[in-house]
Amino acid sequence: MAATLHPRRVDAFGELAGELGLCFGGDYNPEQWPREIWREDAELMVRAGVNLVTVGVFSWARLEPSPGERDFGWLDEVLDLLHAHGIAVDLATPTASPPPWLGILHPETLPVNPDGVRLVAGSRNQFTPASRVYREHAVSIATAMAERYVDHPAVRMWHVGNEFGQIDFGDEAAREFRLWLRERYGTIEALNNAWGTLVWAQRYRDFDEVLPPRRMPYLVNPAQSLDFRRYTSWALQRVFTEQRDAIREAGATQPITTNFMGFEPLTDLWEWAADVDVIADDQYPDHGSATASSDIALVQDLMRSLGGGRPWALMEQAVSATSWRPHNLPKSADRARLDSLQAVARGADAICFFQWRQARTGAERFHSALLPHAGADTEVFASACALGADLQKLRPVVGGRVAASVGVLFDWPSWWAAEEPGRPTERLRTLEQVQRWHRALWRRGIAVDLVKPGADLSAYAAVLVPHSYIVETDAAAALRAAVQRGASLVVGPFSGVADAHAGILTGRSPVLLRDLVGVSGEEWVGLPDAPTRVAAESAWTTAPAVAEASVLGERLRADGAEVLARFEDGHLAGAPAITRHRVGEGTAWYLGAVLSDAALAAVLDDALDAAGVTGVVPDRVLPEDVEGIRRGDALFLLNHGEGTRHVTVPGPHRDLLSDADVDGQATLAPGAAMVLIERHAE
Ligand code: GAL
């Protein structure tokens, strides 16, 4: 399904960033404002150092006020004006929100929720990716735009739709889902077998009897749900690729992208990644959460990994408060700067915001913007200008790569299947586990790539599998090969449980990995609310003082692995909880439970030591709340904490942001950042 990426496209964003330096800007919605304001916008953009704006995202009603009646005059003027001011444009197809007339003329273009309620115009995103009529209208307006602007000198990038993540359970979706299933299974017998439809008398006689998982009396068949998720991601991707291809057919040579939403559950980004010319993402971390900084670092590592390490674009973020949370905390200017620099540190070559000018009307009137309601004479606008100046100083990092020696396995179908209801515990959440494991490495200044199961792991000294419910043969083989050649592997609980159809693999678990981990299990159980003690055996020389387990445990038996720790009490008392198995040149750890932070960190440290993985600082010890990551020749140090922090940095360096020399020790005030280059490397 994923098209081959044309090599020329791979470099297109790199060429743009090479020319502009770090891209800086955001969504610009001139159609929402009288034209008298446009010139002021352009002038203030220049003042702020803005060099890239995304135009047109929600402008369909203005571009096509009635079916087939097109009005591009205003956009001509806007593009000319921006170009005259030296501002590049990421031109968006306006297809994320059709005008009301489309749903009125063609109600089947509107999405239907699981209860059968048809959603209507008046907000945004009211389309079903299944609808041929919607897709034809979308391609038609995308084609018209592309034909008109493909050679416009302002247009340096194309942006299809916005934040794909729509789901529909209606008749249009049922039709397309059935076609998708026919393609996948060929015969209804194959589908019945894969889905195990003899359970609860679900057997289908024909594809025409199959429905999307609409509201049902009780739990849905997990295989049906898993396939509907796969179908939904595919259907959305088709909406993207149809418009992308229309733009290419019109002769576009600029990079074409769309803005992802991190770990968004409706889009399998490993499937999507090869279809975009540059990975772009929208990030709205909730700084009310104590783990926001590491959680967003994980998202940024995902974005870099999706692009195979190539620089990506932070397409949207908030400069201060959002308006869509129940309670919206502002960002300080330092926080907004730190968030932006963090993205650059982790591989972004574009730092953009939603949005340029704060909306006066509409649902997002209180969402912050680079240019607030109060105008340019504001602290927010001043901080936007300061950020623009900072980003200009970072030209030397443009195009730089982050080299990661640790790979963390993650994929969408496994996440989807793992979280279907009717499992040992709903407290085990895939993303939460990935975040916990990643956070342990983030704290140690160790760069991590996210890896798709089955991918080649030869670049990694250590491979982590926090929670991969589905492990297929190719993924198991890649893990085995990695350990054989010397990598450390750590596998978390409830991994390798199911096949690609969410059917449980029978036999002692994890069926495809048990030889590799040297341990096997026979039951998965929810653990009591009070943590279960885990007692270290003598073989675990680096055990923490207290090790505990919670959430989920497995009844394991060592089949060749050393037992490092056992459950001390409860249902699993005496059974192995943590094991280690040497295979070939490497070592595989298996965790039979969700471990407390200290126990998990101790295992990960052992695995990193065995693999010789070092961080950006000696001993992998960074002060609390300090993030450290190397991108190309630059060492980024970011202080997310409330106190001043000192980091040992051997050798003479210069901070690109302050232009100050840093010798031996970097001192970071709260919220401060440094981008250090070795002085002899300049
Ligand atoms: C994004 C969206 C933007 C805007 C923003 C507000 O999800 O793409 O259009 O709504 O959120 O935070």
Bridge partner residues of 556 (DSSP): 521
pLDDT tens for 567-578 read: 999 999 999 999
pLDDT tens for 348-404 read: 999 999 999 999 999 999 999 999 999 999 999 999 999 999 999 999 999 999 999
Q: How far apart are CA 487 and CA 617, in angstroms?
A: 22
- Residue 209 binned pLDDT confidence (cut-offs 50, 70, 90): very high
Six-digit token string for 60: 């369909």
> How far, CA to CA in Å, does 296 sit from each of 175, 293, 622, 627?
38, 5, 18, 12
Q: How far apart are CA 383 and CA 48, in angstroms?
A: 9
Best residue among 93, 163, 317, 320 to mutate for probing ligand 1's pocket (most ligand atoms within 8 Å of CB) is: 163
Distance 359 CA to ligand 1 centre (A): 12
For residue 229, is pLDDT > 60?
yes
**CB of 367 closer than 6 angstroms to any ligand 1 atom:** yes
**CB of 282 closer than 6 angstroms to any ligand 1 atom:** yes
Six-digit token string for 562: 């050393």
Distance 571 CA to ligand 1 centre (A): 48
626-681 in CATH: which number? 2.60.40.1180
For tokens 């209507």, what's the residue? 120
Q: How far apart are CA 113 and CA 2, in angstroms?
A: 28
For residue 305, is pLDDT > 80?
yes
Q: What single-letter amino acid sits at 275?
A: D
Distance 283 CA to ligand 1 centre (A): 10
What does the longest C-alpha to C-alpha distance in the chain come to?
A: 78
Q: How far apart are CA 56 and CA 435, in angstroms?
A: 35
Output the pLDDT for position 3.
44
As to burial, measured by CB atoms within 10 angstroms (0-12 exposed, 13-18 middle, 19+ buried), residue 468 is buried
- For residue 590, the 8-state DSSP code is E
54-72: b or e for each residue (b if 16 or more CB lie within 10 Å)? bbbbbbbbbbbeeeeeeee
- Residue 682 binned pLDDT confidence (cut-offs 50, 70, 90): low
Asked if residues 26 and 355 have their Cβ atoms less than 8 Å apart, the reply is yes
Looking at domain 22-171+254-395, its CATH class is alpha beta
Q: How far apart are CA 40 and CA 82, in angstroms?
A: 11
Angle between helices 430-443 and 597-611 (to 10 degrees): 60
Tell me if 22-171+254-395 shares its fold with 406-611.
no
Catalytic residues, by residue number, are: 163, 316
For residue 9, is pLDDT > 70?
no
Output the pLDDT for position 620.
86
> How far, CA to CA in Å, does 523 sit from each of 399, 465, 520?
48, 19, 10
Looking at domain 406-611, its CATH class is alpha beta
Output the pLDDT for position 7.
42
Average pLDDT, integer, range 126-134: 98
Six-digit token string for 529: 């609310």
- The SS3 of residue 53 is strand
Q: Which of 198, 189, 262, 194 shows the shortest CA–CA distance to 225?
A: 194
Contacts with 210 (C-beta within 8 Å, 6 or more apart), sequence order: 174, 177, 178, 181, 191, 204, 224
pLDDT tens for 27-50 read: 999 999 999 999 999 999 999 999
**CB of 354 closer than 6 angstroms to any ligand 1 atom:** yes
339-355: b or e for each residue (b if 16 or more CB lie within 10 Å)? bbbbbbbbbbbbbbbbb
For residue 308, is pLDDT > 80?
yes
Bridge partner residues of 654 (DSSP): 661, 677
Q: What are phi and psi of 161, to 5 degrees?
A: 60, -150
**CB of 281 closer than 6 angstroms to any ligand 1 atom:** no
pLDDT tens for 611-666 read: 999 999 888 889 999 999 999 999 999 999 999 999 999 899 999 999 999 999 99
User: What percent of the chain shows pLDDT beyond 70?
Assistant: 98
Distance 141 CA to ligand 1 centre (A): 22
For residue 8, is pLDDT > 50?
no
Ligand 1: residue whose CA is nearest its atom 3: 354
Six-digit token string for 62: 């203005």
Output the pLDDT for position 681.
53
For residue 603, is pLDDT > 60?
yes
234: left (phi over 0), alpha (psi -120 to 50) or beta: alpha
Q: How far apart are CA 168 and CA 231, in angstroms?
A: 11
Distance 264 CA to ligand 1 centre (A): 14
Asked if residues 212 and 171 have their Cβ atoms less than 8 Å apart, the reply is no
Distance 28 CA to ligand 1 centre (A): 12
- Residue 4 binned pLDDT confidence (cut-offs 50, 70, 90): very low
Taking the CA of residue 58 as reference, the ligand 1 atom at the shortest distance is 9
For residue 82, is pLDDT > 90?
yes
Best residue among 264, 267, 316 to mutate for probing ligand 1's pocket (most ligand atoms within 8 Å of CB) is: 316
Ligand 1: residue whose CA is nearest its atom 5: 354
Best residue among 282, 325, 357 to mutate for probing ligand 1's pocket (most ligand atoms within 8 Å of CB) is: 282
Ligand 1: residue whose CA is nearest its atom 11: 354
Bridge partner residues of 636 (DSSP): 629, 675
**CB of 162 closer than 6 angstroms to any ligand 1 atom:** yes
Number of H helices, E strands in the chain: 18, 25
- The SS3 of residue 356 is coil
Output the pLDDT for position 240.
98
As to burial, measured by CB atoms within 10 angstroms (0-12 exposed, 13-18 middle, 19+ buried), residue 584 is middle
- Residue 1 binned pLDDT confidence (cut-offs 50, 70, 90): very low
Asked if residues 543 and 564 have their Cβ atoms less than 8 Å apart, the reply is yes
Task: Tell me the domain boundaries of the chain.
Answer: 22-171+254-395, 406-611, 626-681
Q: Which of 339, 338, 280 shows the shortest CA–CA distance to 314?
A: 280
